[in-house]
Structures are given as C-alpha cells and as structure tokens.
Structure 1
Amino acid sequence: MPKYVIERELPGAGNMKPDELQALSRKSCDVLEGMGPQVQWIQSYVTGDKIYCVYHAQNEELVREHARRGGFPANSIARVMAVIDPATSEAREPALA
C-alpha cells in the first residue's frame, strides 16, 4: 500500500499537553476505525507549529477524507517514492516505499 507524508499546520502544536495529544490521537483513531483498513496511521512527529504524519493509504483521496472527517488540516500530502537512511549508502539501490 502506498505511503504518504502529511504536513498539518497547527499553531502551538509543540506546546500541546499530553492530554491534548491523546485527545487528538483518539479522534484520529476513531475516524480511521470508521474508514476501514484502506487507510492506516503509522506515526506522527510534533514540531513547534506543525505535525508531520506518516500514513499508508490506497490513495491520496483517502488521506484527505480522513482529514476532512476528523477536522484536521492537511496542508500538504506527498506520496513517498523511496525510503533512505544511513544503510542506503552501502546498498546498490534505495528501498522503494
């Protein structure tokens, strides 16, 4: 299934309290449960004013639908074409996403 990186602009995201992050996570999971297995949340990274999320989804439209249903911004959605890391420097080809 394709992998996507979603950029969500949320001013003050880095200052959210643990209970606020938990509520945001619960909302996302509730929406995902209603959408079925064709879209899956993998992980998110909280920064100062943004949250970067990694999802598996059959297509970009499902990622947008999740954002719409949850009331989350999805300012940028990009399909991951390959994954690289330090071990890639020793490999012949980067791993496809």
Structure 2
Amino acid sequence: MPKYVIERLLPGAGDLSASDLQGISRKSCDVLEALGPKVQWVESYITDNKIYCVYIAPDESLIRKHAEMGEFPIEAVNQVRTIIDPTTSE
C-alpha cells in the first residue's frame, strides 16, 4: 500500500502544548475510525510552523478526505517512492 508524507502549515505548531497535541491526535484518530482501516496514520513530526505526517493509504483521495473531515490543513501530499537509510550505502 502506498505511503504518503503530508505537509501541513500550522503557525506556532512547535509551541503546541501536550494537551493541544493530544486533542489533535484524538480528532485525527476519530476521523480515521470513521474512514475505516484503509487509511492509517503512522507518525507525525512537529516543527516550528509545520507538521509533517506519514500515512499509508490506497490513494491520495483518502488522505485529502481525512483532512477535510478533520479540518486539517494540507500544503502538499507527496507519495513516497522509495526509502533510504544509512544501510543503503552498504
């Protein structure tokens, strides 16, 4: 199943409290439950003004539907084509 990296612009994201992040996570999980098992949230990375989320889904439309239902911003959706890490150099 394809993996996607979603870029979300959220000014001040790095200053969100643990409670704020828990609320965002709960909302995302509630939407995922409504959408069914075809779309999965893997993890997210919080920077100063953006959140980068990794999802697994059959296509981009489910990623966008999740964002629409949860009222989450989307700047870009990028399908991961391959993954490399330090072992790739061996």
Output the TM-score relative to the length of structure 1: 0.92
Q: Which runs of 5+ in 2 are unaligned?
A: none
The letter for the 2-side match of 1:11 is P
Who is 2:82 aligned against? Answer: 82
The letter for the 2-side match of 1:80 is V
For 1:79 and 1:15, locate their aligned partners in 2 and report how far apart those are by CA, in whole Å.
Answer: 28
For 2:33 and 2:21, locate their aligned partners in 1 and report how far apart those are by CA, in whole Å.
Answer: 18
Q: Which runs of 5+ in 1 are unaligned?
A: 91-97
1:35 maps onto 2:35 in alignment: yes
Using CA pairs under 8 Å that are at least 6 residues apart, name the structure with larger relative contact order, 1 or 2.
2
SS of the aligned residue for 1:82 comes to coil
Q: RMSD of the TM alignment (CA)?
A: 0.3
The letter for the 1-side match of 2:31 is V
Residue 41 of structure 1, CA deviation: 0.1
Who is 1:15 aligned against? Answer: 15
Q: Percent identity?
A: 60
Show structure 1 runs of 4+ deviating over 4 A: none
SS of the aligned residue for 2:74 comes to coil
Larger Rg: 1
